[in-house]
Structure 1
Amino acid sequence: MAPTIIYVHGNGNQIAMERLRSEWDHALFGRDLGAASRMAYWARLRYAKPRGEAAELEAVAEADPAQRLVGPEAFAADVLREARQESGVATEAAADDERLQKWLLRMVYDADALANGEAGGPAEALPLPRKLRIAAFRALVKRTFHDVYAYFFGGMRDPMRQVVETTLAGAGGPLVVVGHSLGTIIAYEALRRIGAQANVDLFVTAGSPLGVLEVQDLLDKPLRVPDGVREWRNVNDARDLVALDHRIRPEYAPADRCTDFIVSNGSDNHHGIGEYLATAPIRDVLRPLFTGEAAPLVTAGGLRSVSKPETPVVAEEAAVVAPEPTAGSTGSEPDERSRSAAVLVGKGKSAPIRRAAVTTESVIGPDERVRIFDTHLSPWRMICSLRLTGPTGAGAIGTGWFIGPRTVLTAGHCVFSSHFFGGWASQIQVVPGRNGPGDSAVSTPFGRVTSTRFSAIDRWVAGENADYDIGCIHLAEDQDLGNTVGWFSLAAPPAEDLAGFLLNISGYPGDRGAGQEQYFARNRVLRVTERRVFYEVDTFGGQSGAPVWIHEDENAPPRAIGVHAYGTGGTPADFDITANSAPRITPEVLEIVTEWVQQDGGWPQT
């Protein structure tokens, strides 16, 4: 039986129902699906007549000047007051709505930051004067909050859910449900109420606030994947004001039925449904179902995310407890604390740990790598494909990444391999930001450089794994490519802190052809020792030397905490786990690396 796709639109007044349905069809499939798609059109419950055809930017340009000039707190207070009045909720009887106020204020602060180019860069903002950009982002905040408030506190919850339930009941065959913004909340609650009878093969949420704690507080507990849903895909842009908390998998059980994807939404406010529908995690899974088109071999897309471990393990050997120094910068110089931290921390040591058997890098369990291109979240420009060049041959040797204008960090065994010492290669070529098919000699947009000067900490010799398998490629004075592509910050968090993070690895796996593209994986820490971190992150041959990085704050630059080296394979007696592994950026490593960068003219002391 042919499937039916049900759309549940988001905040604000909408154009006429059939036109809106057709626009979603065209954004997703390139044509109108006719009876195979339906729109759960709840806008008629909130708005007297459909929105006209005039572009919303025209309304933005005529926005109330006061909306553009008042401070964030005052604007948030005005929006809350309007929402209460509109929904008929008296201030003295509005204790429950305080749970939404924090979300509202966070949205306003992020809106102003985006308008000022502080959260994604000025190129990410609307092509309008700053005051109009503020008005545009604040208009999204106001519209979103008014509708969400009306849903939870204005008596619209049951009527809106009923629209979705009626639409679902009238559709035949297996179902796909796609919700946007507030529509994801309505669809989720409707599917929860219908239960196992829903028969939904795929539930897609885009730009969803279902990850927002203040919204979750207002939903029935326990949070879970609706019983009738076989798979849930949650797709968000990290700059989307509505979806400030981007991931649902850790909270909605069972985790194996839902996956989070972070994508790049190029709409004016990074929330547009048309742009979401065109992203690979939605488009590539739905087009084959409804049009018969094969999924494309090359996909853009986002990252897959999994939940944090319930009981992260810190090995007994992890005795180093140190301050959390950082060095480097993403495109700018570090502050004084970051620059001087390395030389202020002592070199605490403990008994050496036993070494696990070294095997190839590996995919651990299900393959959760995601191929990425130029997205705002991935630090792809700073990450390089490394290639040997010489008189008798050439080939990829791994991944590197800039930590300064002329300093590239990688695995020690990549730069001091037996092949290199054998003399058949005289140079290492550094190719940053390789994303796209082929591996031709054509330069990337950011150029390519070569080097013959290298350093390493406890370099890899005689096949024995050193505790610190970390190497460095030093570029010539006229090869300051890091100033163009940016560079990573470094972090040396204590072992007990590191065990609580989800880790990311971006690099160039050998199974896809040397230097063709990066893969991104995000997964949990399995164990931390004094010098190493072990994790479930999927890797493949060629990603040796890749940065192991964390995002402590979605709006903050990535910080590298290790250099990916190898997989343990099997179940070695040393750790009784199957894992991939990296030497950590410890305080003593940070001190050495800081000296390397300074020798190359980076991180100047002032």
Structure 2
Amino acid sequence: MRPRLVFVHGVGGPLDVAAKRDEWRLALAAGARAAGHSRSASELFDGSSLDLRFAYYGDLFPGNGSQGAAAAPAPEDEELARMLLEAVDDRLRAPEDAHEAQVLRRARNQLAPEGDPQGAGAVLRQVFAAGNTLLSLPGLRTVGGWTSARVMVHVLRQVRQYLARGHADAAGVSLDRRIRDRVCAELDPDGPTVVVAHSLGTVVAYETLHGHGAPVPLFVTLGSPIGMRAAVQPRMRPLPLRAPEPVLGWLDFWDRDDFITAGPELARCVAPNAASVAPVSRRVDSDGAFVHPAAKYLAQPGVAGPVVEALLSAVTAR
């Protein structure tokens, strides 16, 4: 039987699922070849020897992923501001230089001004102001593809919407449950599944795998916000954080220029499962202005190599 690999995307709205799956597949294949797995990469990613799935849920978010909604205040905005503030504070602990530190301090002051905010839209205005400040520094590559403050708000709001455990449908099923159901449907219920998740998808996959019964030889998290101690961790389930029992190996990859990752903190805050499996964090360094997209991570040899090895081992195990 073919080994199964499931991609779990992060935030976003409607997209061409087949095209996105191919983008990730090709990036992973390039990274695998760079890691010295040329033959295996061709067999796995260029043919039909891999059961490749893409768990898509972007259409479930309120507004169907429309970024236009980011211009109006929303219930999640206060938590959104806390999330961005935590990311700024994490970065301020070790800024690249004095200029970056100055920009970060200005953004922090905009997110947490003295006195109480006035009016329903005050928090959103603060977030927009801080976002524009961060985006004003040409050398600051931390925004990972955020081309405007509006896009930044759109991205972070989806994280908050998932963790809010609300937005129930007509049947009373919450948004987070419907999203996890999408991911669960792609996992092999009986055999091994290698799971590669990105951004918000790492939170979704983590929670989904806690209810999964079949083995996961390798769980890979890319650009994960799980390490955010104040804004994300307290709202995750189950608590305290621990590696899901089916997971036999967990690698977490982060890029210093990827703003919402909290660096290696994920490995420090997630306890091992009963098999003593715990996440191992590894830093990667991508080139270019946008480092957050999953394809940037997947093209890294250090990311792709272990994925190929896990898939080959899954074939042997069957």
- For Structure 1 versus Structure 2, the TM-score category normalised by the shorter chain is 0.5 to 0.7
Unaligned runs of 5+ in 2: 31-44, 102-135, 168-174, 314-318
> How has the CA–CA distance of structure 1 residues 245 and 143 changed in structure 2, closer, same or farther, with 3 Å as cutoff?
farther
CA deviation after TM superposition for structure 1 residue 107, in Å: 4.1
Q: 2:9–2:198: 8 Å Cα contact kept in structure 1?
A: yes
> How has the CA–CA distance of structure 1 residues 108 and 15 changed in structure 2, closer, same or farther, with 3 Å as cutoff?
farther
Distance in 2 of aligned mates of 1:233 and 1:24: 18
Q: 1:147 maps to what in 2?
A: 158
Q: 2:82 maps to what in 1?
A: 102
Indicate yes or no: 2:178 matched with 1:163.
no
Distance in 1 of aligned mates of 2:248 and 2:302: 16
Q: 2:206 maps to what in 1?
A: 188
> How has the CA–CA distance of structure 1 residues 189 and 169 changed in structure 2, closer, same or farther, with 3 Å as cutoff?
same
Counterparts in 2 of 1:265-284, with a 5 A limit?
265-284=286-305
Indicate which of 57, 62, 70 corresponds to 1:42: 57
Equivalent position SS for 1:210? coil
CA deviation after TM superposition for structure 1 residue 164, in Å: 0.6
Q: 2:21 maps to what in 1?
A: 21
Distance in 2 of aligned mates of 1:33 and 1:25: 11
Distance in 2 of aligned mates of 1:228 and 1:178: 15
Equivalent position SS for 2:252? strand
* Alignment deviations for residues 535-591 of structure 1 (CA, whole Å, 9 cap, x no partner): xxxxxxxxxxxxxxxxxxxxxxxxxxxxxxxxxxxxxxxxxxxxxxxxxxxxxxxxx
Q: 1:209–1:245: 8 Å Cα contact kept in structure 2?
A: no
CA deviation after TM superposition for structure 1 residue 117, in Å: 6.7
> How has the CA–CA distance of structure 1 residues 3 and 106 changed in structure 2, closer, same or farther, with 3 Å as cutoff?
same
Q: 2:243–2:277: 8 Å Cα contact kept in structure 1?
A: no
Distance in 1 of aligned mates of 2:204 and 2:180: 6
Q: 2:79–2:160: 8 Å Cα contact kept in structure 1?
A: no
Indicate yes or no: 2:288 matched with 1:262.
no
Q: 2:214 maps to what in 1?
A: 198
Q: 1:241 maps to what in 2?
A: 259
- One-letter amino acid of the structure 2 residue matched with residue 143 of structure 1: H
Q: 2:9–2:200: 8 Å Cα contact kept in structure 1?
A: yes
CA deviation after TM superposition for structure 1 residue 143, in Å: 2.8
Q: 2:250–2:277: 8 Å Cα contact kept in structure 1?
A: no
CA deviation after TM superposition for structure 1 residue 288, in Å: 4.0
Q: 1:185–1:208: 8 Å Cα contact kept in structure 2?
A: yes
- One-letter amino acid of the structure 1 residue matched with residue 3 of structure 2: P
- One-letter amino acid of the structure 1 residue matched with residue 100 of structure 2: E
Equivalent position SS for 1:234? strand
Q: 1:9 maps to what in 2?
A: 9
* Alignment deviations for residues 321-377 of structure 1 (CA, whole Å, 9 cap, x no partner): xxxxxxxxxxxxxxxxxxxxxxxxxxxxxxxxxxxxxxxxxxxxxxxxxxxxxxxxx
Q: 2:147 maps to what in 1?
A: 136
* Alignment deviations for residues 234-265 of structure 1 (CA, whole Å, 9 cap, x no partner): 00012211213433222211165321101112
Please report the TM-score for the alignment, with normalisation by the length of structure 1. Answer: 0.36
Q: 1:229 maps to what in 2?
A: 247
Distance in 2 of aligned mates of 1:117 and 1:246: 24
Q: 2:171 maps to what in 1?
A: none
Distance in 2 of aligned mates of 1:137 and 1:270: 16
Distance in 1 of aligned mates of 2:226 and 2:254: 11
Q: 1:118 maps to what in 2?
A: 100
Percent of aligned pairs with the same amino acid: 30
Q: 2:198–2:221: 8 Å Cα contact kept in structure 1?
A: yes
> How has the CA–CA distance of structure 1 residues 252 and 117 changed in structure 2, closer, same or farther, with 3 Å as cutoff?
same
Equivalent position SS for 1:225? coil
Deviates more, 1:218-227 or 1:144-153: 144-153
CA deviation after TM superposition for structure 1 residue 138, in Å: 3.5
Distance in 2 of aligned mates of 1:257 and 1:152: 23
CA deviation after TM superposition for structure 1 residue 132, in Å: 12
* Alignment deviations for residues 418-453 of structure 1 (CA, whole Å, 9 cap, x no partner): xxxxxxxxxxxxxxxxxxxxxxxxxxxxxxxxxxxx
Q: 1:4–1:37: 8 Å Cα contact kept in structure 2?
A: yes
Equivalent position SS for 1:227? coil
Q: 1:9–1:40: 8 Å Cα contact kept in structure 2?
A: yes
Q: 1:433 maps to what in 2?
A: none
Q: 1:198–1:229: 8 Å Cα contact kept in structure 2?
A: no
Larger relative contact order (Cα-Cα within 8 Å, sequence gap ≥ 6): 2
Equivalent position SS for 1:142? helix
Indicate yes or no: 2:221 matched with 1:210.
no
Equivalent position SS for 1:249? helix
> How has the CA–CA distance of structure 1 residues 204 and 244 changed in structure 2, closer, same or farther, with 3 Å as cutoff?
same
- One-letter amino acid of the structure 1 residue matched with residue 59 of structure 2: R
> How has the CA–CA distance of structure 1 residues 193 and 142 changed in structure 2, closer, same or farther, with 3 Å as cutoff?
same
Equivalent position SS for 1:217? helix
> How has the CA–CA distance of structure 1 residues 139 and 100 changed in structure 2, closer, same or farther, with 3 Å as cutoff?
closer
Q: 1:178–1:204: 8 Å Cα contact kept in structure 2?
A: yes
The CA RMSD over aligned residues, in Å, is: 3.9
Q: 2:223–2:260: 8 Å Cα contact kept in structure 1?
A: yes
- One-letter amino acid of the structure 1 residue matched with residue 27 of structure 2: A
Unaligned runs of 5+ in 1: 52-58, 65-77, 120-127, 293-606
Distance in 2 of aligned mates of 1:279 and 1:103: 28
Equivalent position SS for 1:224? coil
Q: 1:42–1:160: 8 Å Cα contact kept in structure 2?
A: yes
Q: 2:247–2:277: 8 Å Cα contact kept in structure 1?
A: no
Q: 2:218–2:310: 8 Å Cα contact kept in structure 1?
A: no
Q: Which structure's residues are more often helix, by fraction? A: 2
CA deviation after TM superposition for structure 1 residue 130, in Å: 4.6
> How has the CA–CA distance of structure 1 residues 117 and 166 changed in structure 2, closer, same or farther, with 3 Å as cutoff?
farther
Q: 2:11–2:158: 8 Å Cα contact kept in structure 1?
A: yes
Q: 2:100–2:140: 8 Å Cα contact kept in structure 1?
A: no
- One-letter amino acid of the structure 2 residue matched with residue 205 of structure 1: T
Rg larger for: 1
Distance in 2 of aligned mates of 1:222 and 1:129: 38
The ranges of structure 1 where at least 4 consecutive aligned residues each deviate by more than 3 angstroms after the TM superposition are 30-35, 47-51, 97-101, 106-111, 128-135, 137-140, 288-292
CA deviation after TM superposition for structure 1 residue 29, in Å: 1.4
Q: 1:10–1:180: 8 Å Cα contact kept in structure 2?
A: yes
Please report the TM-score for the alignment, with normalisation by the length of structure 2. Answer: 0.65
